[in-house]
């Protein structure tokens, strides 16, 4: 029996969305290829999966490097056919527009939008001939609306959303489920609690989106039957205005 493989790129700290998705799908019985820019972080997540009896491997990969993304997907395929692929890359990069350097704007776009292109292209090249697979992408509030001081991030995330819409319409009829989860608010993880504690404190516990609840949305999409697919889900706290 061939191993069912999931490849998740954009994995960072243990208490982060990428890591929590890895744990969830490893417990669901998939071999998870844990991918991210920092070898130490992906090693920790893969080791934790193996500690609870799951199957995982860690791969350092930069989503903006075509050769690294291609190598990642090839390694995942050698483990077993990719059944699930999740593009979770893209840092929130605010900045004042009038003083923004072109390199800053381009970097934001390359991580989220260009990286999304490289990753989804390589995944779909494997899934399409088999006529089966789930490809999920992480969105943000900026995917749907632009706010002051977030021009670069909005352009990048809106681009990823539009990319996903095109892919869903092109490859859905070929058996590939392409969908996005729009995370409309701050996630209750290490990135905000450690990196921006003042913001976390201002929002309070009920103002941060619960990690496992977000992962539930990804698992729901993964388990949908072909005659009842969703293309997009949005998640937010009950306090968030929208």
Over residues 172-201, the pLDDT tens digits come to 999 999 999 999 999 988 888 888 888 889
Domain tally, the chain: 1
Q: Which domain holds residue 66?
A: 5-235
Residue 241 lies in a domain: no
9-26 pLDDT per residue, tens: 999 999 999 999 999 999
Average pLDDT over residues 189-216: 90
Nearest-CA neighbor of 241 among 210, 215, 207? Answer: 207
d(CA 231, CA 181): 9
Give the model confidence (pLDDT) of 224-233 as tens digits.
Answer: 999 999 999 9
Sort strands 31-36 and 133-140 into parallel, antiparallel or unpaired: unpaired
Model confidence pLDDT, tens digit, residues 129-150:
999 999 999 999 999 999 999 9
Strand order in the sheet with 5-9: 56-60, 31-36, 5-9, 82-87, 133-140, 176-183, 232-235
Residue 242 lies in a domain: no
**Which CATH number do you get for residue 154?**
3.40.50.720
Mean per-residue pLDDT, 144-173: 95
pLDDT value of residue 191:
86
Distance CA 106, CA 120 (A): 20
In sequence order, what are the residues at sequence separation of 6 or more whose Cβ sits closer than 8 angstroms to the Cβ of residue 182? 139, 140, 141, 143, 144, 161, 232, 233, 234, 235
Do 56 and 22 form a contact (C-beta atoms < 8 A)? yes
> Is the pLDDT score of 1 beyond 60?
no
Whether residue 85 lies inside any domain: the answer is yes
Q: How much of the chain exceeds pLDDT 90, in percent?
A: 88
Average pLDDT over the chain, rounded to whole?
Answer: 95
Does residue 240 belong to any structural domain of this protein? no
């Amino acid at each position: 029996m061939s191993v069912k493989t999931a490849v998740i790129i954009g994995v960072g700290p243990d208490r982060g969305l990428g890591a929590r998705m890895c744990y969830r799908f490893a417990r669901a019985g998939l071999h998870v290829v844990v991918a991210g820019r920092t070898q130490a972080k992906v090693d920790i997540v893969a080791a934790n999966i193996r500690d609870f009896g799951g199957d995982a491997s860690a791969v350092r990969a930069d989503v903006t490097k075509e050769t690294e993304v291609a190598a990642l997907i090839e390694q995942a395929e050698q483990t077993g056919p990719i059944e699930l692929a999740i593009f979770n890359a893209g840092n929130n990069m605010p900045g004042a527009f009038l003083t923004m350097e072109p390199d800053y704007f381009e970097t934001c776009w390359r991580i989220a939008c260009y990286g999304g292109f490289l990753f989804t292209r390589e995944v779909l090249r494997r899934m399409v001939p088999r006529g089966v697979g789930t490809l999920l992408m992480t969105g943000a509030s900026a995917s749907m609306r632009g706010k002051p001081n977030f021009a670069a991030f909005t352009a990048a995330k809106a681009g990823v959303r539009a990319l996903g819409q095109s892919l869903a319409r092109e490859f859905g009829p070929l058996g590939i489920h392409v969908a996005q989860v729009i995370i409309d608010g701050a996630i209750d993880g290490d990135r905000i609690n450690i990196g921006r504690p003042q913001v976390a404190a201002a929002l309070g516990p009920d103002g941060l989106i619960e990690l496992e609840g977000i992962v539930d949305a990804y698992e729901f999409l993964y388990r949908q039957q072909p005659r009842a697919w969703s293309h997009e889900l949005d998640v937010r706290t009950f306090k968030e205005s929208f």
